[in-house]
A and B are shown apart, each in its own frame.
Chain A
Amino acid sequence: MSPTDPHATTEPLLSVTGLHKAFGDHEVLRGIDLSVDPGKVLVLIGPSGSGKTTVLRSINGLEIPDAGVVTATDGIRVDYAANPPRKDILALRDRTAMVFQHNNLFPHMTVLENIIEGPVQVKGISKKDATADAVELLGRVGLAEKRDAYPFQLSGGQAQRVGIVRALALKPQLLLFDEPTSALDPELVGEVLAVMKELADEGWTMVVVTHELAFARQVADEVLFMDGGVIVERGAPRDIFTAPKQERTKQFLRRILSPLD
C-alpha cells in the first residue's frame, strides 16, 4: 500500500514557499513555507482562522492563493502569482488526494461507486480492477459489508473512513486531511484516527490539519503551529508539546490541554 519508498530519495515530495492569500482586506496567509519528505507526516495545528485549512487547500489548488510556489515531484511547479496554467494545477491534484471535514461523499452513489468514480472516470482504470482494489481497501478499514450502502446509511465515522478509502483509491503520492474528525461525534473520532495512524505507519506521506493533539503527538514527524496566517513555531512533536519556545504556542497548548485552568 505504501506509495513511496522513503529511502529512495531525500528530495521533498512537496514544498511550498511564500504562500500569501487575502480575502478582501483580511490576510489569511502571510508567507507560509513548508515541505514534506516522502513517508513523513506533517501536522498543522492552530486556532480557527489561523489559515491552516487555506494552506492545505492551496496545495491542491482548491484555493488559489495570491502568491506562492508549490513544487512536487517530476518537476511540477505551480507559481500562483504567475497565473498558472490549469494543467499544472491538475497535475498537482493528480499527485494528491483529500479527505474533508464533512466527508463530501457523493450522496447519489453507493460506497463502492464513490470509491471507483475517480479511478474509472478520471484515471481510466477498468471497472473490474477498480472494484477489486476498492473492495480490498474497504476490507482494510473494516467496511467490506458496506460496499452497496448509500452514504446516508453510514455513521459519521464510517463515512469518513470511506472518504479515506476514496482518497487512497486514487493512489496519490500525498494525502491531505482537512480536520477529518472535527465534525464527528467524540466517540467516533477514534476509529478514524486509528485508520490514519495505520496509514502513517505504512509509510504514506500525509499533511494533516487537526485539533487532535494526541494524534499529532503520536503520529506526526513534524508539527507546525500556525496563528494569524504565519507559522509561529515548527518542530518535532516532542519539542512542540513539551518545550514550546514561543509564548503564543504555550498559550494555545495550555488552553487546549487544560481549558479549565
Chain B
Amino acid sequence: MTEWHLLPTAVSASADGAGTNWELALSSLWPLISGAIMGTIPLALSSFALGLVLALVVALMRLSRNRIVSGIARAYVSVIRGTPLLVQLFVIFYGLPSIGVKLDPWPSAIIAFSLNVGGYAAEVIRAAILSVPKGQWEAAYTIGMSRTRALSRIILPQAARVSVPPLSNTFISLVKDTSLASLILVTEMFKQAQKIAAFSSEFMLVYIEAALIYWIICLVLSSGQSVIEKRLDRYVAH
C-alpha cells in the first residue's frame, strides 16, 4: 500500500534485461522485509499467543469429566481440524458481515489464526498433560495441592517440555499460513510480494525472494526451539 509507492524505479525498469534483476531483487527486499516486520511476524506472534491460551482452555475442557464440556471441546477441535484454514478466514472476513458482524482485515486474520492454532495446539497440550505420569498428580495431592495448583505447579511444567517440539511445528506452520491473510486484504509480506510481482512481472524472482525470507524466519524459529528444548531438558537424564 503506502510502502509500495516508495518502490524504486528499478521495478519498472526490470523488464529490460537480466542485469537489472539484481537491482529489482535488492530494491524489493525492503518492502518484503517491512511486510514481514509489519505484517507476517506480528500476525503470527499475536495469533500464536492467543491461540495457545485458547488451546490450554480447550485441552482442559477435553480432559474434563463433564461430558458436555468435553463434548464442546471435541466438536471445536473437530471443526477446526476438519475445515481448511482459508475457508475459516473467508467465513470470518467475508461471511460474518452478512449476519451483521463486520470485522477489519487484521482482527479477522488474528481471530481466524488464533482459532486455528487453538484447535491444533489443544490436542498437543492434551497429549502432553496425559503424558505426565499419574504418580505426579498423586504426589501433588498428597502434599495438599488442589487440582488447579497441581496442574500449574507440577503437571504443566512437565507437559511443557513434551509439547515444545510439536508446538514449534504449529508455530512454524502458522508463520507460513499467515500468507493466506493476503487474500483478506492484510498487507503482510506475501501481499507485498504479489504487488511487486504484478507490477514488475518478475514473478519467479519476487516469489522466490519471499520464499527465502519465510525460510529465514523459520530457521530462526527452529534455533529458538532448540534453545528452549535445551533449557527444559536440564532436569532429564541424558
- Are B141 and A62 in touch, CB under 8 angstroms? yes
- Are A106 and B144 in touch, CB under 8 angstroms? no
Known: A90-B144, A117-B143. A106 touches B136 (CB 8 A): yes
- Nearest neighbor of B149 in chain A, beta-carbon distance: A121
Please tell me which one of the listed residues A108, A150, A152, A166 contacts residue B143 in the complex, with CB atoms under 8 A apart: A166
- Are B136 and A93 in touch, CB under 8 angstroms? no
- Are B142 and A117 in touch, CB under 8 angstroms? no
- Are B138 and A100 in touch, CB under 8 angstroms? yes
Shortest B132–chain A CB gap in Å is 10
A93-116 vs B, CB cutoff 8 Å, 1 = contact: the mask equals 110111010101111110000000
Please tell me which one of the listed residues A60, A96, A121, A150 contacts residue B153 in the complex, with CB atoms under 8 A apart: A121
Known: A121-B153, A152-B237. A106 touches B145 (CB 8 A): no
Q: Does A209 sit at the interface, judged by CB under 8 A?
A: no
Known: A107-B235, A152-B236. A170 touches B144 (CB 8 A): yes
**Chain B residues whose CB sits within 8 angstroms of the CB of A96 once the complex forms:** 142
Q: Which B128-179 residues sit within 8 Å CB-CB of chain A?
A: 133, 135-136, 138-146, 149, 153-154, 157-158, 161
Q: Does A118 sit at the interface, judged by CB under 8 A?
A: yes
- Are B235 and A152 in touch, CB under 8 angstroms? yes
**Chain A residues whose CB sits within 8 angstroms of the CB of B5 once the complex forms:** none
Please tell me which one of the listed residues B140, B144, B236 contacts residue A107 in the complex, with CB atoms under 8 A apart: B236
Q: Does B65 sit at the interface, judged by CB under 8 A?
A: no
- Are B139 and A121 in touch, CB under 8 angstroms? no
**Chain A residues whose CB sits within 8 angstroms of the CB of B138 once the complex forms:** 62, 98, 100, 104
Q: Which A95-148 residues sit within 8 Å CB-CB of chain B?
A: 96-98, 100, 102, 104-109, 117-118, 121-123
**Chain A residues whose CB sits within 8 angstroms of the CB of B236 once the complex forms:** 107, 152
CA distance A60 to B145 in the complex (A): 13
- Nearest neighbor of B134 in chain A, beta-carbon distance: A104
- Are B144 and A150 in touch, CB under 8 angstroms? no
**Chain A residues whose CB sits within 8 angstroms of the CB of B141 once the complex forms:** 61-62, 93
Shortest B224–chain A CB gap in Å is 20
A interface bracket (residues with beta carbon within 8 Å of B): 20 to 34
Q: Which B177-223 residues sit within 8 Å CB-CB of chain A?
A: none
**Chain A residues whose CB sits within 8 angstroms of the CB of B142 once the complex forms:** 60, 62, 93, 96-98, 167
Shortest B170–chain A CB gap in Å is 23
Please tell me which one of the listed residues B144, B153, B154, B158 contacts residue A93 in the complex, with CB atoms under 8 A apart: B144
Shortest A98–chain B CB gap in Å is 4
CA distance A107 to B142 in the complex (A): 16
Known: A104-B135, A106-B139, A106-B154. A122 touches B145 (CB 8 A): yes
- Are B235 and A150 in touch, CB under 8 angstroms? yes
- Are B139 and A104 in touch, CB under 8 angstroms? yes
- Are B135 and A170 in touch, CB under 8 angstroms? no
CA distance A106 to B144 in the complex (A): 14
- Nearest neighbor of B236 in chain A, beta-carbon distance: A152
Known: A121-B149, A121-B153. A108 touches B144 (CB 8 A): no
Known: A96-B142, A100-B135, A166-B143. A117 touches B153 (CB 8 A): yes
- Are B154 and A102 in touch, CB under 8 angstroms? no
CA distance A216 to B79 in the complex (A): 59
Shortest A106–chain B CB gap in Å is 6
**Chain A residues whose CB sits within 8 angstroms of the CB of B144 once the complex forms:** 90, 93-94, 118, 122-123, 170
- Are A100 and B139 in touch, CB under 8 angstroms? yes
Known pairs A98-B138, A100-B139, A118-B144; list 14 more (Cβ under 8 Å): A93-B141, A93-B144, A94-B144, A102-B135, A104-B133, A106-B140, A106-B158, A117-B143, A118-B145, A121-B149, A121-B153, A150-B235, A167-B142, A170-B144
Query: 4 closest Cβ contacts across the A-B interface?
Result: A118-B143, A104-B139, A122-B144, A104-B135
